[in-house]
A = this chain, B = another copy of it.
Amino acid sequence: MPDKKQLHLTAFMRPVSLHTGAWRYPGAYPDANFNLKHLISFIQSLEAAKFDAFFMADHLAVLNMPLEALKRSHTVTSFEPFTLLSALSQVTTHIGLAATASTTYDEPYHIARRFASLDHLSGGRAAWNIVTTGNPESSKNFGRDEHVEHGERYKRAREFYDVVTGLWDSFADDAFPRDPESGVYVDPEKIHVLNHKGDELSVKGPLNIARPVQGWPVIVQAGQSEPGRQLAAETAETVFCGPRDIEAAKALYQDIKGRAEAVGRNPNHLKILPAALVIIGDSVEDAQEKRLKLDSLVHYDSAISSLSIALGTDASKYDPDAPLPKDIPETNASKTSREGVINLAAKEGLTVRQLASRLGGYSGLAFVGTPETVADEFEQWLNEEAADGFTITFPFLPEGLENVTKRLIPELQRRGVFRKDYEGTTLREHLGLPRPKNRFFT
């Protein structure tokens, strides 16, 4: 047992970078998000660095964005998670494989089956990121004019989770004698028929696949709203969240772990892994310069519209190369967003153009510095209970990814806060999570 608290690290890999300028960075693979050879090399680097998991977000539509943003977006074409992760399961041996799947526009029997199959194919490395699907455009691809209403989505999600985990428990772990002598392949006493009939779903079962290697694939959740947090507390084993800074992260950490305790769960069995952009340089200034360079690759037309939305006012009338004017009007749009942007411009001394590019590129949590300064920050977050680790999004690939795997990770290993080797073979083992008992069989 390591004596220091351990970080858990997951790589956010669909899209391969959340920064919209990533594919244009000098030396980056423009097609990194949709080139299998590259994706294989990335996952193998991540596995060599002992990452807990490779994580794929998912969307059931081309994201709705203005044409200017759409034509510059490397997310327009991506692999579908189940197919890609199944392929990647065969070129890796240990790293976890986390797929996002929607409870709003899919069926529990399909979801239970695909994750069970992926878990068997990968020797116990699957995780399910439960989402209710944020993008309203999705509804139009599934026979509806309007997106399913938010409360209704979360109600279905909660019941969907019960059904999927119930289907995973269809077979006892020892249900298959497969005895050629007696001719008994499966013991019918060890098959459970779910017969679920609820408000939202009616599913008979049993599943047509043996219980997953991990019992249940690891449950991941990323909702931020009140019902999103409650769902996380009741069901999730890792939470991907997007706090802006360490203070917000601590509050969220307390909130979710507290809710988990309140429903009788062990809060250690729920790992909080905020999403973060990580940019490593030879010096802090070098890393900051990379970030400015990367931001500058966001086209001004899409950047300025992001800034206008964030400020709640048309920002295209301002001089792009001057500081943000002092007199930004207050409007009906979000005050928090307007103030956050004004503070950011002041703190980093950004011009309107730089500010717009930041917002159009990636404006979430970021760690920008040397392996040492970023490791310091990671340790601080870990020790102050702001996070149990991170969901890292890379600035550009392959270089930005290699800077993490070859420079930051060795520093974290040297400090004893990140594994030097995998100790188990399943994702549950990497994350220190128990294997769930089968609710129908002992």
Residues of A in contact with B (beta carbons under 8 Å apart): 23-24, 28, 30-31, 34, 36, 59-62, 67, 70-74, 76-80, 82-84, 86-91, 105-107, 109-110, 113-114, 116-118, 120-121, 137, 140-144, 171, 176, 178-180, 183-188, 191, 201-210, 297, 299
Contact = CB atoms under 8 A, between A and B. Distances in A.
B208 A121 contact: no
Contacts of A141: 109, 203-205
Given A61-B208, A109-B60, A23 B76 contact: no
Contact of A210 (B34, B87, B121, B205): B34
A183 B297 contact: yes
A183 B60 contact: no
8 contacts: A34-B210, A77-B176, A77-B208, A82-B83, A82-B86, A107-B142, A140-B202, A183-B297
Given A60-B109, A87-B87, A105-B107, A114 B82 contact: yes
Contacts of A171: 77
A24 B59 CA distance: 45
A63 to B, nearest CB: 8
A87 B84 contact: no
A208 B71 contact: no
Contact of A91 (B61, B90, B205): B90
A80 B209 CA distance: 8
Given A107-B105, A178-B30, A185 B84 contact: no
A276 B87 CA distance: 30
A36 B176 CA distance: 16
Copies of this chain in the oligomer: 2
A36 B120 contact: yes
Contacts of A90: 87-88, 90-91
The 10 closest A-B pairs by CB, nearest first: A86-B86, A140-B204, A80-B117, A90-B90, A83-B117, A83-B86, A109-B141, A24-B180, A77-B210, A30-B178
Contact of A62 (B82, B84, B110, B208): B208
Given A31-B178, A84-B86, A89-B87, A201 B117 contact: no
Given A31-B178, A141-B204, A113 B80 contact: yes
Contacts of A202: 140, 143-144
A185 B74 contact: yes
Contacts of A206: 62
Nearest to A211: B77
A117 B56 CA distance: 14
Contacts of A31: 176, 178
Contacts of A297: 183
Contacts of A34: 120, 210
Contacts of A205: 141
Contacts of A59: 208
Contacts of A144: 202
